[in-house]
Amino acid sequence: MKYTIHHEEVVYNGFLQIKKAQITHDRFHHQEPISYDREVLDKGDCIAVLLFEKDTNCIILIKQFRYPTVKHTTGWFVELPAGAIEDNEDPKNAAYREVEEETGYTVAELEHIQTFYATPGSSTERMFLFYGEVTTSDKEAAGGGASYEDEDIEIVKLPVAEIPHLLQSHTLPDAKTIIALQWFLMQNKLKF
């Protein structure tokens, strides 16, 4: 199956970038291709890290205000530490940097879990999901976010025993965090 992007242009360039394209592609069950215009949020790639604090048996999460969620939530969102990959930055290096900026922990080793698109119908953003283990002695800075980005982040410790209840309660609306916590359960890393 083939596709053609006839024209693509940036129609908005602010905190986020939006592109508009004219596309033609083959159909599954028709001989004639289909053509249409689409807008896409061209955000770039990002990382997220599932951080397990071994000596407290807790997952390290963060809480911050997320404006796009206010239509359906209070806006204060609990999620994995995450952030954008800067130009030409290796995803794993971005993950180390974001963990330190947002949580204050220095993690020795990260394991790549998965790379995925959260909203492939409207965004180019790929997320690289990592797993790392720390102890309380690995917290070497305050965390709370990068001062140059004016972030305001609070650290939340989730006891691993509460993960099943949290997932079953449907009170955690963040996809990357749900994916990571389910992965954690599947890996039998929980010790009850």
pLDDT digits (tens, 9 = 90+) for 151-177: 789 999 999 999 999 999 988 899 999
pLDDT digits (tens, 9 = 90+) for 68-120: 999 998 999 999 999 999 989 999 999 999 999 999 999 999 999 999 998 99
Sorted by where each begins, the domain ranges of the chain are 3-41, 46-186
| pLDDT in the model for residue 47 | 98
User: What whole-number distance in Å separates Cα of residue 80 and Cα of residue 118?
Assistant: 14
The region that residue 115 occupies, defined by phi over 0 for left and psi between -120 and 50 for alpha, beta otherwise, is: beta
> Could you tell me which residues are annotated as the binding site for Mg(2+)?
82, 98, 102, 151
* Superfamily of the domain at 46-186: Nucleoside Triphosphate Pyrophosphohydrolase (3.90.79.10)
pTM of structure: 0.91
CA angle 96, 174, 11 (to 5 degrees): 85
> Could you tell me which residues are annotated as the binding site?
82, 98, 102, 151
